[in-house]
Structure formats: structure tokens, C-alpha cells
Amino acid sequence: MRIEGISGCYQKTGGLFYFARMCSKIRLHAEERLPEDYQELLGKGFDGRTVRYLGVNYEEVKGQVLGGASNEEVLEWCYSHGRRLNAEEILIFNSFMSKRGWRDDETDVFIPAAIKEYGLPDDGRLLTDFDIIEMDEGRWHPGLWKEAWK
């Protein structure tokens, strides 16, 4: 489903995948433009993994976003109130997040079920949660992940 104003999973903030998406979901929800299907996982799922990795509280991050801070300012706030990530920690985060669903506990059940639920092509191209999200929202193409890592 296409959602005007939502950031993709691979959009980077300070080198981090997904952070911009989490912030955009917070903004869209406050504007009552985030679809109901997306609201259940606000602060959970990948949002929860992101804030826990940074060592901050989702509600406090939400407060920063809704207070008008840019994505970069919110990330800097996270670094000063949680933990600052070095290049290796960013690599580890990006690797985990972008490969979730590929050769892990989601591979055999969650990924096939999500492909079916969203009515996406089950042709072997969609391997990760990010693939499914990006395809469902109309951004996916075969080289997307490669471009993101440049």
C-alpha cells in the first residue's frame, strides 16, 4: 500500500537504516495519515528494536519527533540520552535489520505468510521483511538493497 510521506526502510539517518521510517510513522500518525494496519506496531517490531539498540525509550523519541526535531536532531538526541553508535555498531544494526527474515526464524513461516497476506508475488525475489515492506509500498526493485549499502 502506498503511503504518502512514509520513508522507506533503507533510507538512512546518520548511516542508520530504518530510523527515518520510524520518525515518519510517528509524524504520519500524529497527522492521522498513518493507516490503521501500521498503528499496531508503533513502538514495537522494528521501531522497538531501533530504540532498544540505541538505549532510549520510544515515547521519549516520539516526543522529540513531535516537538519538531529533524530526523538527524532526534538521532543526536538518542545518542546523548542512550548510546552513541560507532561505525561497527551501525553496520551490525543495518545488517540485522535489512536481513531479518532471511535464513532466520521468520524464513519458513512469517515471510511466506506475509507474502500471501499482502498479495505479493511469491516468485523467490522477496526474502526479507524489508523486501516485503518495500514491495508492498511500491519502492522495491531488484537492486534496491545493493544501492542502500553504497
Distance between CA atoms of residues 6 and 31, nearest Å: 12
pLDDT in tens, 112-129: 999 999 999 999 999 999
pLDDT in tens, 11-29: 999 999 999 999 999 999 9
Find all residues with CB under 8 Å of 80, minimum gap 6, and list them. none
Amino acid at residue number 77: W
Is the predicted pLDDT of residue 1 greater than 90, yes or no?
no
Indicate the domain borders of the chain: 19-148
At 16 the three-state DSSP class reads strand
pLDDT in tens, 45-87: 999 999 999 999 999 999 999 999 999 999 999 999 999 999 9
Distance between CA atoms of residues 27 and 16, nearest Å: 19
Cell triple for 105: 526464524
How high is the pLDDT of residue 54?
98
Among 117, 116, 141, 119, CA closest to 130: 141
How high is the pLDDT of residue 6?
98
Phi, psi (deg, nearest 5) at residue 16: -85, 130
Find all residues with CB under 8 Å of 124, minimum gap 6, and list them. none
Confirm whether pTM is higher than 0.85: yes
Distance between CA atoms of residues 93 and 49, nearest Å: 9
